[in-house]
Amino acid sequence: MAEDDTQPQVGAMESARAAGLWDRLGRIAYGADYNPEQWDEATWAEDVKLMAGAGVNLVSLAIFGWAALQPERDWFEWSWLDRVMDMLADASISVCLATATASPPPWLVTAHPQILPEDADGHRLWHGSRQHFCPSSRIFREHAGRLVEAMAARYGSHPALAAWHVGNEYGCHVSRCYCDESAGAFRAWLRDRYGSLDELNAAWSTSFWSQRYSSWDQIIPPRRAPTFPNPSQQLDFSRFSSDALLGCFRHEADIVRRVTPDVPVTTNFLGIFKPVDGFAWADEEDFVSHDSYPDPADPDAAVGAAMAFDFMRGASGGKPWLLLEQAPSAVNWRDVNQPKPAALYRLWSWQAVAHGANGVLSFQWRASRGGAEKFHSAMVPHGGADHPVYRQVAELGRELAEHPELAATEPGRAEVALLFDWASWWALELPSRPSTRLSLLDLARAYYEPLWRAGLPVDLVRPGSDLSGYRLAVAPNLYLLGADAAGQLARWVQGGGHLVTGFFSGIADENDRVYPGPYPGALRELLGVTIDQFWPLGPGDDVRLRLAGQQAGTGRCWSEEIRLHDATAAGWFDGGPLDGRPALATAERGRGRASYCGTLPDAATLAGWLAGAASNAGLTPLLERTAHGIEVQRRLGEGLEALFVLNHDTTRRAVRLAGHWEPAVGPAPQGLELDLGPRELAVLRRGTGNQASPRRNA
Ligand code: GAL
């Protein structure tokens, strides 16, 4: 069917609506969540003045505004929002307008207590906080829809409206509900997935422990049970719960898209967040948005933040995304909440831009006087505009505004793909596995970090997606891998791709059933290894490794009995019950290569192994010579290439560039040397004849 060009594609990878938003904003956007319902009108006037002073050009408005917009069932109160929208439009500040449905008002809950969610023990979660709705509640969706319909009708053609912010951080507090209505929705979802009970019984292996279902009504969510609930049931409940929340998003997104077909739609992710399958959501957004809250007290916080940014970039297919929330200084929800020094606020904001953010927004604009977040920092702190935090905020606003050319660049795709899959994550971390010490995020981070430190940009992508254009794919763990995705991976390697795979991958199918035959079923032919038994390691049970070239290393978390049937050993276990057995293996396949590691090597060993894989894959880092704590990223545009060099360390660092660059932000290079102070950054630029090649060394 021919594409209807009056209906632009949805999906963060290709939305024309998102492109329109970036054009409208015209520079890296800057702003905050704005919650004017907490303040009087005189304060709004001051807010708009201070926003102008801070270079704010985008706010996300009315996220928790439901009770103020609809104080009673049949009373909509638009006057305050009308006024605020007009004031913002007059000040040329664009609005990412929330659908305001993230916290249902007390009147709704009191009239319909069945919209409240229930936990696995059957306890109801009450109102008086936020996000107290069952994702499957029809009454909740009906009322949310009524509000959104009215919002879209009222503000759809308002000049300030630039984008829709649907809901807020779906799943943040309540990611799954076990109530009877959810049980019914779960059954409907299962009928849709399996078609028949026979299929479901087979997929869930219900012949085990006498769990066979003879009627759909017998199926319930995995509520509290005497011991391990059926793992396939739990996996499907994770899938269902992500889909139920996505259903809430879709319900509201459909309404605003019908009323305002040209206005892009987003919702904010909590980074790489286990309850919500981010890739599936990105397919339904016009652009991806992210809330980033690294801990200023964590010296390595930048690595985790970068990995989340690279999920946003991967999920966006190299298109820009939006940093919709960060903290200007301290948060209030850790046990101990340290302020963020001004240099870190600037550095981490630019870090997001370096990875593809086309806007940097904070939670929230003005610090609340009361409520649960009054000690969370804000762009305008309790101390007002004379406070150092407002001054640092305004400085960054000015700096971002000075470089509109950067908003016309895009991060583009990286050449390294880190394969990451939500279903596999859910299955891996269920109980009753060989080890409960496996955390997908920890494994992913262990593989990501050396690539990040080496200056090799990485996209997080899901297995089964198109890997053409990537030279190296790294799969820290793919416990659960469908046969189609495994086949696609094998074809990609045959065609010249280089794959690095971590232990306990390719073991189970989509229903968490072990592939028949020797491990690792789905990847056995591709990797050329057979695994006879797993030997997971407890805390402190590290094993020694002997690597080709006589180097030594250690492995932790996992070891296993590997036999090579069509691969070459690249490292061995040294000592212990697996002494002399292979630990690392490599297999040549067609024009490519597949490597496997049966443990989690120490950081230096893993870094060396990945560096070898990257160089075999023909990759060159963005910087010729880098230093500890230095991060480098790139964005490309028509005729312009921008290089971002960030020093996350607290000591001065010098790096060497491979070519000549003009300074845009921060210090200028002296010849090929760039000297960066502690937590300092530089944005460098150079012209290109046309679209720069992402393969060139900087
Ligand atoms: C986010 C949320 C905001 C605010 C912020 C505080 O999770 O979307 O509303 O609560 O955290 O850090």
Q: pLDDT tens for residues 591-603?
A: 999 999 999 999 9
| Residue having the nearest C-alpha atom to atom 7 of ligand 1 | 169
> What distance in angstroms lies between residue 59's CA and the mean position of ligand 1's atoms?
15
| Structure confidence by residue, pLDDT tens digits, 632-664 | 999 999 999 999 999 999 999 999 998 999 999
Cα separations (Å) of 522 from 71, 425, 681?
56, 17, 44
Same domain, 47 and 168: yes
Cβ neighbours of residue 3 closer than 8 Å, sequence gap 6 or more: 9
Is the residue at 8 inside a domain? Answer: no
Same domain, 364 and 452: no
Sheet of 58-61, strand order = 265-266, 161-165, 94-98, 58-61, 29-34, 357-362, 321-325, 289-291, 268-269
| Residue having the nearest C-alpha atom to atom 2 of ligand 1 | 169
CATH number reported for the structural domain that contains residue 657 in this entry: 2.60.40.1180
Tokens 């906080």 belong to 129
- Judge if the beta carbon of residue 415 lies within 6 A of ligand 1: no
- Which pLDDT does position 196 carry in this prediction? 98
> What distance in angstroms lies between residue 79's CA and the mean position of ligand 1's atoms?
26
Same domain, 486 and 594: yes
User: Nearest-CA neighbor of 607 among 462, 456, 489?
Assistant: 456
> What distance in angstroms lies between residue 246's CA and the mean position of ligand 1's atoms?
19
- Which pLDDT does position 1 carry in this prediction? 32
* pLDDT, mean of residues 99-103: 98
Same domain, 296 and 424: no
Q: Distance from first CA to last CA of the chain, Å, rounded?
A: 43
* pLDDT, mean of residues 523-529: 98
- Which pLDDT does position 84 carry in this prediction? 98
Is the residue at 16 inside a domain? Answer: no
- Judge if the beta carbon of residue 331 lies within 6 A of ligand 1: yes
Is the residue at 123 inside a domain? Answer: yes
- Judge if the beta carbon of residue 293 lies within 6 A of ligand 1: yes
**Cβ–Cβ contacts within 10 Å for residue 480, how many?**
26
Same domain, 312 and 394: yes
- Judge if the beta carbon of residue 175 lies within 6 A of ligand 1: no
Same domain, 149 and 259: yes
Contact 325, 291 (CB under 8 A): yes
Local confidence band at 695 (pLDDT 50, 70, 90 cut-offs) = very low
3-state secondary structure of 54: coil
Q: Residues 118, 252, 285, 325: which is the catalytic one?
A: 325
d(CA 267, CA 422): 18
User: Nearest-CA neighbor of 200 among 188, 212, 186?
Assistant: 212
Question: For 179, left (φ over 0), alpha (ψ -120 to 50), or beta?
Answer: beta
- Judge if the beta carbon of residue 376 lies within 6 A of ligand 1: yes
Local confidence band at 670 (pLDDT 50, 70, 90 cut-offs) = very high
Phi, psi of 497 (to 5 degrees): -75, 150
Active site (annotated) includes residue 169: yes
Domain ends where: 616, 639, 666? Answer: 616
Local confidence band at 6 (pLDDT 50, 70, 90 cut-offs) = very low
- Judge if the beta carbon of residue 169 lies within 6 A of ligand 1: yes
Structure tokens belonging to residue 343: 């240099």
> What distance in angstroms lies between residue 261's CA and the mean position of ligand 1's atoms?
28
Is the residue at 625 inside a domain? Answer: no
3-state secondary structure 294-311: CCCCCCCHHHHHHHHHHH
Is the residue at 23 inside a domain? Answer: no
d(CA 121, CA 224): 6
- Which pLDDT does position 222 carry in this prediction? 98
Number of H helices, E strands in the chain: 18, 27
> What distance in angstroms lies between residue 606's CA and the mean position of ligand 1's atoms?
35
> What distance in angstroms lies between residue 523's CA and the mean position of ligand 1's atoms?
41
* pLDDT, mean of residues 522-551: 95
- Judge if the beta carbon of residue 378 lies within 6 A of ligand 1: no
Percent of the chain with pLDDT over 90: 95
Active site (annotated) includes residue 325: yes
Percent of the chain with pLDDT over 70: 97
| Structure confidence by residue, pLDDT tens digits, 155-204 | 999 999 999 999 999 999 999 999 999 999 999 999 999 999 999 999 99
- Judge if the beta carbon of residue 204 lies within 6 A of ligand 1: no
Is the residue at 112 inside a domain? Answer: yes
Same domain, 69 and 100: yes
> What distance in angstroms lies between residue 341's CA and the mean position of ligand 1's atoms?
20
The residue count for the chain: 698
Is the residue at 201 inside a domain? Answer: no
Local confidence band at 698 (pLDDT 50, 70, 90 cut-offs) = low
| Structure confidence by residue, pLDDT tens digits, 224-234 | 999 999 999 99
> What distance in angstroms lies between residue 425's CA and the mean position of ligand 1's atoms?
25
* pLDDT, mean of residues 286-314: 98
CATH number reported for the structural domain that contains residue 532 in this entry: 3.40.50.880
- Judge if the beta carbon of residue 102 lies within 6 A of ligand 1: no
d(CA 396, CA 549): 49
| Residue having the nearest C-alpha atom to atom 3 of ligand 1 | 363
Same domain, 384 and 420: no
Same domain, 426 and 574: yes
- The per-residue pLDDT of the chain, averaged, comes to 96
- Which pLDDT does position 36 carry in this prediction? 98
Cα angle vertex 528, ends 522, 530, to 5°?
70
Same domain, 542 and 667: no
- Which pLDDT does position 180 carry in this prediction? 98
Q: Residues 37, 118, 169, 680: which is the catalytic one?
A: 169
Q: Which of 60, 333, 373, 374, when mutated, tests ligand 1's pocket best, judged by the most ligand atoms within 8 Å of its CB? A: 373
How much is the pTM? Answer: 0.97
- Judge if the beta carbon of residue 172 lies within 6 A of ligand 1: yes
- Which pLDDT does position 625 carry in this prediction? 81
**Cβ–Cβ contacts within 10 Å for residue 611, how many?**
17
Domain ends where: 373, 406, 439? Answer: 406
Same domain, 577 and 435: yes
| Structure confidence by residue, pLDDT tens digits, 56-80 | 999 999 999 999 999 999 999 999 9
Q: Which of 35, 325, 331, 376, when mutated, tests ligand 1's pocket best, judged by the most ligand atoms within 8 Å of its CB? A: 325
- Determine the structural domain holding residue 611 and report its residue range: 416-616
- Which pLDDT does position 9 carry in this prediction? 64
Domain ends where: 406, 430, 455? Answer: 406
Structure tokens belonging to residue 252: 């509201």
- Which pLDDT does position 244 carry in this prediction? 98
Is the residue at 11 inside a domain? Answer: no
Q: Which of 169, 175, 364, when mutated, tests ligand 1's pocket best, judged by the most ligand atoms within 8 Å of its CB? A: 169
CATH number reported for the structural domain that contains residue 102 in this entry: 3.20.20.80
Cβ neighbours of residue 342 closer than 8 Å, sequence gap 6 or more: 388, 389, 392
- Which pLDDT does position 624 carry in this prediction? 82
Cα separations (Å) of 323 from 60, 256, 291, 676?
11, 22, 6, 25
Amino acid letter, residue 334: R
Amino acid letter, residue 78: W
Count of structural domains, the chain: 3
Same domain, 470 and 356: no
